[in-house]
Chains A and B, each alone.
Chain A
Amino acid sequence: MWNPNLDNRQMEKRVVVGRVRPTWARNLPEVRDDDDKSEDLGAMPHSDPPSPSEHWDQHGKPDEKYDVFGKVMLLGDSGVGKTCMLVRFRDGTFLAGNYISTVGIDFRNKVVTVDGIKVKLQIWDTAGQERFRSVTHAYYRDAHALLLLYDVTNKTSFDNIRAWLGEIREYAQDDVVIMLLGNKSDSGLERAVRREEGQRLAREYQVAFMETSAKTGLNVEAAFAHVARALIAKANPVDPSRLAVRAHPTQEQRSSCPPCS
């Protein structure tokens, strides 16, 4: 039987990842997001395990079921393709032509299934411009995973990655999952950053790395799946010892060969 008290203690020790649903609740529908009880205002799916007295089967929407919840933030200079990446991931389309500049932070949800486990990703798409830094900084701390993007055709965006990693170290949680993505990898001749340079930088900072293309869809699913796996590993409340092993970043290897669990 699941013991809420025991779990609470475990959760405190670990850095918590979203609301982890107990095994018994996995296949029950999620509490409705737009539940308008006023005391629920502000209560996002948060880190405490739900009390068994909550009625999971009320107001449930079948497509809202999930086992693990995590907050993912997209970072990087303006124009590297954060929004395009996200739109490709969420809707499977590419925003060709006009440049849609994000104002502040945009929020979207998507549930992905990896290894049979449903992971609800709440994805925060941030504006790359400097003037929004103070807004985005406030959200670093709550993020469980960060996708840090540069544009392989724009050397400056790559050079700025070190500065971004510095900010992440300053503002984010210590055990946040970080993944470096070289976007626009379909660009061919316009490329200004070689794949190896990206790999080297990722190795230096011990973060996972992939080259992606929001235009062709290359590695977009894979990048988010990688993040989802890392979140599952972090969130698994049943076996904290396994977490300790996984939490240590060996992700660089994983990017080439995702764990087949």
Chain B
Amino acid sequence: MLVGQSIETGYAYRLPLNFKYGNEDKLAGLCGVIQALVSVVEEQNQDILRSISTKDCKAIFLVKGPLILVAVSKSNESETQLVLQLTYAFNQIVSVLTLTQLNRIFEQRRNYDLRRLLSGAERLIDHLLIFMEKDPAFLLGAVRCLPLPEKARENITNAITSTCNKIRDLVFAILIAGNQLITLVRMKKYTLHPSDIHLLFNLVRSSESFKTAESWTPICLPKFDATGFLHGHVSYISEDCQACLLLLTVQRDAFFPLSQAKHTIAEKLRRSNCLVAINDALNRNKELPTTNPLKHIGIPEIRHFMYKCKSTAQLFTSDPISLDRLQDYRLRHKEGGDIMVKKIEKLSDMDYVRNYRRFCSQIHCSSTPAKLIFRSNSDDTVLAWVTNGFELYVTFDPLMEKDHAIRAVDRLLHWIKREEERIFIMHAPTF
């Protein structure tokens, strides 16, 4: 089954019920049940089956064109969040095939075995599901940016625009590193949706082959245009810099001009020392304020935070401070806080994010959305706050007092405002 510690996601293809994982015979039965459930609700009750809940798990159904997608979950994710995951999985399939091809296949042959066309793409779906569980970017519908000095990012963007502005039909030029956006230059009039960027992150992260050669690959970006492929020149900038450049065009034979452009860009980045800046940020050089913002600001009562800048749909999270490191850190800072009696545990980004899910769904609840949530107990204190400009989730030490928490948050927001140009991409450059 498709993966994750607590998620099991299945895909039932509408008529032939196929499955990548597990025993095919058993799954055929399971898929038969799924299809029966969906079609009974659909045909007899003129309705749509959305979910089935049992005592300890829920099954979410999503019918998308010729596919039925099912997620079975035992975790605390809300129905909306699971539907989002299924939509992403579907978009990933579309990204590989295009919607046109997907629909056409099933029009021609209702019993087509989709695995044939998806072979080699299973790992994209696997990685995507893991990626979604780990990264709050999906939860918030935002893109994570690589924190860079404003000047460095400007130089990088200029290197790309000056090289590419004469290339016809180049739609997007995107430089990414470690699931973070370094810069995105676009053709005027066209924009790229965060979920399309996530699919590009996933593609780059899941494809080892990009590391060994320059690639030319078809990519469909479902939100941009689900009906057709863009053609992508994909390559890493250099052996000593793990930033990956994607040049997306509508020309299917533009490989060579784009390859040439890539080499020019790489050369310019090297000459202007941008590769060093990228590497420093990627390796989380200790001297950078963004590497460990909590320490840099000096707010040890905050264990973790994530902040979404709404206007740019971008995200910044702290490097989580695990409790044992926190203790060590406090000893050095002589700031007290009795955590010796508590069980020392290591919390990762993922644990915090899992914790935020509940607050996130309360804030995004369509019937009674909350603007500010403050919850304090003996494990931790969480503050979730949404305004017109941002969404903020913070985890504090347990039993935190409200005004103390608010003071800490003020300092945090002040810092974010100051570092805005570094942690977010505030301009949207075009060719």
Stretch with Cβ within 8 A of B (4 or more), from A49-57, A129-137, A165-173: A129-137
A106 touches B264 (CB 8 A): no
**Residues of B within 8 A of A (CB-CB), count:** 39
Question: Once bound together, how far apart are the Cα atoms of A202 and B337, in whole Å?
Answer: 78
**How many inter-chain contacts with C-beta < 8 Å in the A-B complex?**
97
B263 touches A101 (CB 8 A): no
- Does B116 have its Cβ within 8 Å of any Cβ on chain A? yes
Question: Once bound together, how far apart are the Cα atoms of A109 and B167, in whole Å?
Answer: 24
How many interface residues does chain A have, given as a range?
20 to 34
Residues of A within 8 Å of B267, CB to CB, are 34, 36
Beyond A41-B261, A138-B252, whether A104 also contacts B215 by CB under 8 A is yes
Q: Annotate A99-120 by CB proximity to B: 1 below 8 A, 0 otherwise.
A: 0111111111000000000000
Residues of B within 8 Å of A196, CB to CB, are none
Which residues B254-278 have CB closer than 8 A to chain A? Answer: 254-257, 259-261, 263-264, 267
Which residues A35-86 have CB closer than 8 A to chain B? Answer: 36, 38, 40-44, 78, 83
B120 touches A78 (CB 8 A): yes
Question: Once bound together, how far apart are the Cα atoms of A40 and B166, in whole Å?
Answer: 12
A98 touches B120 (CB 8 A): no
Q: Shortest CB–CB separation between residue B430 and chain A, in angstroms?
A: 19
Beyond A105-B215, A107-B213, whether A131 also contacts B166 by CB under 8 A is no
B263 touches A34 (CB 8 A): yes
A100 touches B212 (CB 8 A): yes
Beyond A36-B260, A83-B209, whether A103 also contacts B217 by CB under 8 A is yes
Q: Shortest CB–CB separation between residue A101 and chain B, in angstroms?
A: 5
- Does B315 have its Cβ within 8 Å of any Cβ on chain A? no
Q: Shortest CB–CB separation between residue B297 and chain A, in angstroms?
A: 41
Question: Once bound together, how far apart are the Cα atoms of A255 and B117, in whole Å?
Answer: 35
B116 touches A106 (CB 8 A): no
- Does B305 have its Cβ within 8 Å of any Cβ on chain A? no
Residues of B within 8 Å of A42, CB to CB, are 254, 256-257, 260
Q: Which residue of chain B lies nearest to A106 when distances are taken between CB atoms in the complex? A: B213
Q: Give the A-binding residues of B (Cβ under 8 A).
A: 96-97, 116-121, 123, 163, 166-167, 203, 207-210, 212-218, 231-232, 234, 252-257, 259-261, 263-264, 267
List the 8 shortest-distance A-B pairs measured between CB atoms, nearest first.
A104-B217, A106-B213, A34-B263, A42-B257, A41-B257, A129-B120, A36-B264, A44-B256
